[in-house]
Amino acid sequence: MKKAPIFIYIVLCASVVLRPTDAAAHSADSIPLMNGHHPYTVANTHSHNDYEQATPFWLAYGQQFGSIEADIWWVDGKMLIGHNTEEIKTGRTLDEYYLKPLLSCILKNNGHPYADTARQLSMLIDVKTDSIATLNALMGLLKKYPPLVNTSSIKWVISGRRPLPSLFTSYPSFICFDGILHGDYSPEALTKIVMMSDDLHYYTHWNGLTTIPTADLPALQQAVARSHGLQKPVRFWDAPDFPQAWSQLIKLQVDYLNTDHIRQLADFLRNLPAE
């Protein structure tokens, strides 16, 4: 009798594992590019440092966010989450806070993160320790949860300390990368990049209380347009994070709005006037 839960888990996992041909066909696009032809929705949201929320994962998931971020540290055989070395002392692990909750959603929704099977989810993993060793450990950990890697509805997007771009294509199909918006990449590396991110302060010190300064706007517009030309969505970190600023970022056609204010941003987007 004690073996029954394990048997049930295996059966459920098997029921949502995709055929090999499907598992390899991970689409590069999680959301449509915001080039003026699509309305903004809660899919255009990124939960920045999500583990610092009162309810990690579940708060952003409950609002149907399009992207959720976790910082990882590979320390003494454990995949810890936290922003710095002090935070990881609490011993919180990627498994308990993200992988197991997400697995429960995948099993419930027959291989999809959300009940709405058209919705995708990007899990942005910000690597804080050695890029190669940590990424190898992460891949081994993810493979313990086959439904999490055998679905095209979830993107595992590696940010922070990344391998050299020349190595991107050596990683399996379920591993994708976050590119640096102002960087240059080979056509081969671009096939593994699913998002372009940057520090907004690289372009401007705008505080979000006014319109973006005229002198700074062209460089931002060109950066977004260049990324869209490569068919890659854009995200800025260190961006002002309140309604007036969100409106300006929408005008700039930024694809993912970076936030620490999950409910407020979700309400803001759901209440946008119809175009």
Place of tokens 């918006």: 181
pTM greater than 0.85 (yes/no):
yes
| Distance from C-alpha of 230 to C-alpha of 26, rounded to nearest angstrom | 17
Polymer length of the chain: 275
Domains defined for the chain, CATH in brackets: 4-18+42-270 (3.20.20.190)
Q: Tell me if 105 sits within 8 A of 148, measured CB to CB.
A: no
pLDDT tens digits for the chain (275 residues)?
443 443 334 334 444 433 333 333 334 446 889 988 899 999 999 999 999 999 999 999 999 999 999 999 999 999 999 999 999 999 999 999 999 999 999 999 999 999 999 999 999 999 999 999 999 999 999 999 999 999 999 999 999 999 999 999 999 999 999 999 999 999 999 999 999 999 999 999 999 999 999 999 999 999 999 999 999 999 999 999 999 999 999 999 999 999 999 999 999 999 998 76
In this structure, what token pair is assigned to residue 213?
Answer: 């300064």
Q: Tell me if 33 sits within 8 A of 233, measured CB to CB.
A: yes
In this structure, what token pair is assigned to residue 29?
Answer: 């696009």
The pairing of strands 175-180 and 193-199 is: parallel
